[in-house]
């Protein structure tokens, strides 16, 4: 297990009111943000299946995934089991559990927009640890 703390400012300085050019072939890139509030990035994993994922990450806050292009599936650890959730264009997903992602059509062939806080802590563990550890507490988000 390892823990990473993200502190603000956690995003690059960009010129406001101008296009931001993303890099291709990068699994995760933060594009911009609002200090002490949110940051926005692009997620395009190189993994092509659940079997390629060695570890899952869990933030101490929720994050939103919104599929922009291609195919991208999230691998979620829920109730000590794994669930594959293919993202759909036009439908956002609020993720609160340990997760990772893969592109079933090949490395970096799907891209999701991700919105998360500007400061948070992430816990990384091997997939098996999330499945057997009964003491893990999951963040719950109240229904509206």
**pLDDT value for 1:** 86
- pLDDT tens sequence across 73-100: 999 999 889 999 999 999 999 999 999 9
Q: Which residues of the chain have pLDDT under 50?
A: 134-140
**pLDDT value for 100:** 98
Strands in 44-103 per DSSP E: 55-59, 63-69, 73-78, 81-86, 92-95, 99-102
Rounded CA gap, 123 and 98, in Å?
Answer: 9
Cis peptide before 143 (omega within 30 of 0): no
**pLDDT value for 9:** 81
**pLDDT value for 29:** 97
pTM as predicted: 0.88
Residues 6+ apart with CB under 8 A from 143: none
Give Cα 133 to chain centroid, integer Å.
21
**pLDDT value for 139:** 47
- CATH dotted code for 2-132: 2.60.120.10
**pLDDT value for 75:** 98
């Amino acid at each position: 297990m390892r823990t990473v703390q993200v502190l603000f400012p956690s995003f690059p300085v960009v010129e406001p009111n101008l296009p931001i050019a993303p890099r291709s072939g990068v699994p995760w890139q933060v594009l911009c943000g609002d200090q002490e509030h949110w940051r926005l990035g692009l997620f395009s994993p190189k993994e092509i299946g659940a079997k390629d994922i060695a570890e899952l990450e869990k933030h101490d806050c929720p994050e939103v995934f919104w599929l922009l292009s291609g195919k991208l599936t999230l691998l979620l650890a829920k109730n000590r089991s794994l669930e594959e959730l293919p993202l759909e264009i036009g439908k956002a997903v609020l993720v609160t559990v340990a997760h990772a992602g893969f592109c079933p059509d090949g490395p970096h062939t799907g891209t999701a927009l991700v919105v998360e806080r500007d400061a948070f802590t992430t816990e990384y563990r091997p997939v098996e640890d999330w499945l057997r550890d009964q003491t893990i507490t999951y963040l719950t988000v109240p229904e509206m």
